[in-house]
Amino acid sequence: MPSTRFLDRTTAPHIVTLVAIAGLSALTMNIFLPALPGMAVDFRVDYASIQILLSGYIAATALVQLLIGPLSDRFGRRPTMIGCLLILLAASLICAVSTNFYVLVAGRLLQTAVVAGLVLSRAIVRDMVPMDQAASMIGYVTMGMTVIPMVGPTLGGVLSDHFGWRANFLALFVIGAVILTLVLSDLGETNKSKSSSFSAQFRAWPGLLMSSHFWGYTIAGTFTTGAFFAFLGGAPFVGGTIMQMSPSTLGLQFMFIAGGYIVGNYLSGRYSRRAGIAKMMLIGAMIALMGTFIPIPLFWLGATSPMAFFMPQVILGFGNGLALPSTNAGMVSVRPELAGSASGLGGAIMMGGGAILSWLASAILSVESGPMPLLIVMFACCVGALLATLWLANLGDSQQPEHHSKA
Q: What digits encode the pLDDT tens for the residues 374-397?
A: 999 999 999 999 999 999 888 865
For the cut 80, the answer to whether the pLDDT of residue 34 exceeds it is yes
| Residue 114 near residue 149 (C-beta atoms within 8 A) | no
pLDDT, tens digit (0-9, with 9 covering 90-100), for 213-231: 889 999 999 999 899 889 9
Give the architecture (CATH level 2) of 15-393: Up-down Bundle (1.20)
Q: What local confidence, expressed as pLDDT, does residue 385 receive?
A: 95
Q: Sign of the CA dihedral 327, 332, 333, 335?
A: positive
pLDDT, one tens digit per residue, over 41-99 is 899 998 778 888 988 898 888 888 788 877 888 888 999 999 999 999 999 999 999 99
Is 0.85 topped by the overall pTM?
no
pLDDT higher at 373 or 51? 373
- Does position 236 have pLDDT exceeding 80, yes or no? yes
- In 129-246, where does DSSP find H-type helix? 131-163, 166-186, 198-203, 205-209, 212-237
The domains of the chain are located at 15-393
Predicted local distance difference test score (pLDDT) of residue 150:
65
pLDDT computed for residue 404 by the predictor: 41
- Give dist(CA 108, CA 95) in Å, integer: 6
| pLDDT of amino acid 326 | 87
Mean per-residue pLDDT, 91-111: 96
Burial of 372 (C-beta count, 10 Å sphere; 0-12/13-18/19+):
middle
- Over the chain, what is the mean pLDDT? 85
CA 42 from chain center: how many Å?
Answer: 28
User: Pick the residue with more confidence: 26 or 341?
Assistant: 26
pLDDT of residue 337: 67
The C-alpha atoms of residue 239 and residue 77 are separated, in whole angstroms, by: 39
165: DSSP letter = T
Residue 91's pLDDT is what? Answer: 97
Which pLDDT score is estimated for 250? 87
358, HSE (Cβ side, Cα atoms, 13 Å): 29
Question: What 3-state class would DSSP assign to 369?
Answer: coil
Distance from C-alpha of 372 to C-alpha of 48, rounded to nearest angstrom: 18
Least confident of 85-89, 161-165, 175-179, 208-212: 208-212
Mean pLDDT value of segment 28-46: 88
pLDDT for res 407: 31
What pLDDT band is residue 103 in, cutting at 50, 70 and 90?
Answer: very high
Reported as a single tens digit per residue, the pLDDT across 315-361 is: 999 999 899 888 888 887 777 766 667 777 887 788 788 888 888 88
**Least trusted range by pLDDT, from 32-36, 60-64, 115-119, 150-154:** 150-154
Over residues 362-372, the pLDDT tens digits come to 788 888 888 99
